Amino acid sequence: MTEHKYRTKTATLKRARRLRRDMTEPEKRLWSRLCDNQVGGHHFRRQVPLGPYIADFCCLRPKLVVEIDGVTHAEPSEADARRTRWLEAEGYQVLRFWNNEVMENVD
């Protein structure tokens, strides 16, 4: 059984469920490529609580987080930088793509 390092707050779990239900069009498009082990046989999950954060997409092995940034991330923020530092400190590699990149070229 996998041992969890952090206990996820109930509010975070509810938010992750809501985000899974209300995915944006770019998230839906990327998910259609990531689900069902289509990328090198790797298993991705969507809207995954990781500590205090929720990753758009995560492959627990090899600890890869994929984030899709829209207009709310037009300007790099300290909050985004802090989140990336936290994820990297936990051993995750973080890849970020803009909405338009996903919509124009999901492959």
Q: Three-state SS string across 59-101, please? A: ECCCCEEEEEECHHHCCCCHHHHHHHHHHHHCCCEEEEEEHHH
For residue range 28-70, list pLDDT tens digits in order: 999 999 998 888 899 999 999 999 899 999 999 899 999 998 8
**Mean pLDDT score of the chain, rounded to an integer?**
87
Tell me the pTM.
0.82
Whether the predicted pLDDT of 16 surpasses 50 = yes
Query: What average pLDDT does this structure show over 70-74?
Result: 64
Lowest average pLDDT, out of 7-21, 52-66, 92-106, goes to: 7-21
User: In the prediction, which pLDDT does 94 show?
Assistant: 97
Query: What average pLDDT does this structure show over 101-106?
Result: 90
Burial class (CB in 10 A: 0-12, 13-18, 19+), 30: buried
- Which pair of structure tokens corresponds to residue 74? 């037009």
Percent pLDDT > 70 in the chain is 88
Q: Which helix (H) or strand (E) holds 56?
A: strand 53-59
Query: What average pLDDT does this structure show over 8-27?
Result: 88
